[in-house]
Chains A and B, each alone.
Chain A
């Protein structure tokens, strides 16, 4: 079963996204912070990471950077807000190797397509 790591500091988002993808036969692991996510990445390989850009503690950009240091082949999709500063930071995420991004509020079918495309291409 393909494995997806969801990193978001909002419980509701984590819970919903996790159950959404579990229903789609995906093995989901969740992390509530960048720190926790890095711990998971060190221990096991995920096929894809969904990473929220705005988090307390180390933010999504820093987390992305460190994930890529641990595993340069890691595939990461960023979840960003609509605020201009978050939109602007996506360029930085691209440089750091994120493969794509999606804006909140997002369309569920777009999220589904984006994630399944990456996972089923494995």
Chain B
């Protein structure tokens, strides 16, 4: 009997619960039962919510007795499942543990014909699964799983202490599963929120594209090219960017021209070249964009991309004339992607260049207008036919 179970397992179980890995914990528990309590086999049926069925997920023990994981299931109409779902275990067994031997005694008592029928069915299931004890894991009213135990190797009956120990294990299983479920739900909620935010940004970007007739689809293309460049840079430099960076870049690329909301349409859609006054107005858009997004604290990193995507590597850009490494990489990436897309689409003042010509121009401007490491990533993508 594993009296030291708690001590031995507490540390491991706690961390397992923290890392939201119920399967790892359940495996430890089942293994522990088989080895320490010396049971010929043990397994656990876990609820599959989508199909409303209980699948034997973890199992251990002697060959021929242990039921292979993933081989067997019990549906909601299975007598053993119905027995537990109707909470008859609590009615007939004060501690919830269903022991085959005791069950047989119950059958000869006066428990009503329906209960007797169900109990017979449940016992037959236990026989098929080679289980001498079943212990349910409930959360509130829901049956999350059932711990199945074979016979003791010495063929003796389980003592009450052992049964109590199994009940404690089953409740740990419940806790681990609940934690994992909660964690999953939380993650899902977070992902939904992120999605909502990305979709909102896309809608805003579409508003800019709609205003600027010459740049149809521009934002979407700049966004996807920016992400490609970042992927390439990251792959070449030992994963220099984390997921957060990609998120920020995604948002920044979508919103890089958001400031054009404040630029008069007459300037945005002017056929010829702009005069000084118009140019000045046009060049306000990164700062305007920054002002629009500033109140959103979570966008701090993304705003850098919006604000500095017209800076040039040699310091001749705007709004601040930042130079070289002063320019945040997020902005340098958008800048190159933005220029590449502008060059390869028709504009009021000139026809589009071929992709080869655009790459050539950008390469020539490496170290002048563009950050050399971004240019080389772009060049690689071009050579690999990825753009």
Residues of chain A whose beta carbon lies under 8 Å from any beta carbon of chain B: 10-13, 15-16, 18-20, 104-109, 112
- Contact assessment for A16 and B68 in the assembled complex, using a CB-CB cutoff below 8 Å: yes
Q: A105-B56, A105-B73, A106-B73 are in contact. Are A13 and B124 (CB under 8 A)?
A: no
Q: What residues of chain A lie closer than 8 Å to B63, measured between beta carbons? A: 11-12, 15-16
B349 at the interface (CB under 8 A from A): no
Q: How far is the CB of A86 from the nearest CB of chain B, in Å?
A: 13
Whether B72 lies near A107 (C-beta < 8 A) is yes
Cross-chain contact A16 with B125 (CB below 8 angstroms): no
Complexed CA–CA distance, A16 and B68 (Å): 7
The reply to whether the CB of B271 lies closer than 8 angstroms to some CB of chain A is no
Contacts of A19 in B (CB 8 A): 64-65
Nearest first, the 8 A-B pairs at minimum CB distance are A105-B73, A12-B68, A19-B64, A15-B63, A15-B64, A108-B128, A105-B55, A13-B68
B234 to chain A, nearest CB (A): 34
- With A107-B72, A108-B129 as known contacts, state yes or no: A16 contacts B66, CB within 8 Å: yes
B74 lies within 8 A of chain A by Cβ: yes
Interface residues on B, range: 20 to 34
Report yes or no: A108 in contact with B64, Cβ–Cβ below 8 A.
no
Residue on B nearest A81 in the bound complex, by CB: B70
Could you tell me the dominant secondary structure of chain A's interface residues?
Answer: helix
In angstroms, Cα B65 to Cα A16, docked, is: 6
Task: Report how far A16 CA is from B60 CA in the complex, Å.
Answer: 12
Additional pairs, 5, CB under 8 Å, beyond known A15-B63, A16-B66, A105-B56: A16-B64, A104-B71, A105-B53, A105-B71, A107-B78
How far is B78's CA from A109's CA once the two chains are assembled, in angstroms? 10
A-B contact pairs, 30 of them (CB 8 A): A12-B63, A12-B66, A13-B68, A13-B71, A15-B64, A16-B63, A16-B64, A16-B65, A16-B67, A16-B71, A18-B64, A19-B64, A20-B128, A105-B55, A105-B56, A105-B70, A105-B72, A106-B71, A106-B72, A106-B73, A107-B73, A107-B74, A107-B75, A107-B78, A108-B72, A108-B125, A108-B128, A108-B129, A109-B125, A112-B128
Q: What CA separation (Å) do A104 and B63 show in the bound complex?
A: 19
Question: How long is the Cα–Cα vector from A11 to B68 in the complex, in angstroms?
Answer: 9
**A117: min CB distance to chain B, Å:** 16
With the chains together, A67 CA to B64 CA distance in Å? 26
Residue ID in chain A nearest B64 by CB atoms: A19
A18, A106, A109 — which one has the most chain B CB atoms within 10 A of its CB? A109
User: Which A residues touch B66, using CB under 8 A?
Assistant: 12, 16
Question: Complex formed: what's the CA distance from A4 to B56 in Å?
Answer: 24
How far apart are the CA atoms of A96 and B65 in the complex, in Å?
Answer: 33
Cα of A10 to Cα of B68 in the assembled complex, Å: 9
Residue ID in chain A nearest B74 by CB atoms: A107
B68, B74, B78 — which one has the most chain A CB atoms within 10 A of its CB? B68
Q: In the assembly, what is the distance between CA of A12 and CA of B62, in Å?
A: 10
List B contacts of A15 (CB < 8 A). 63-64
Complex CA–CA separation, A20 to B124 (angstroms): 13
B121-145: CB near A (< 8 Å → 1, else 0) gives 0001100110000000000000000
A95→B142 CA distance, assembly (Å) = 43
Closest Cβ of chain B to A97, distance in Å, is 25
Please name all residues of chain A whose beta carbon is closer than 8 Å to the beta carbon of B125 when the two chains form the complex.
108-109
When chains A and B are docked, how far (Å) is the Cα of A120 from the Cα of B268?
84
CB proximity to A under 8 Å, residues B61-107: 63-68, 70-75, 78
A109: min CB distance to chain B, Å: 7
CB neighbours of B74 from chain A (8 A): 107
Nearest opposing residue in chain A for B79, CB measure: A109
Complex Cα–Cα for A107 and B78 (A): 9
The smallest beta-carbon distance between A84 and chain B, in angstroms, is 15
- Assembly CA distance A12 to B43 (angstroms): 13
- Residues on B with C-beta less than 8 A from A106 are 71-73
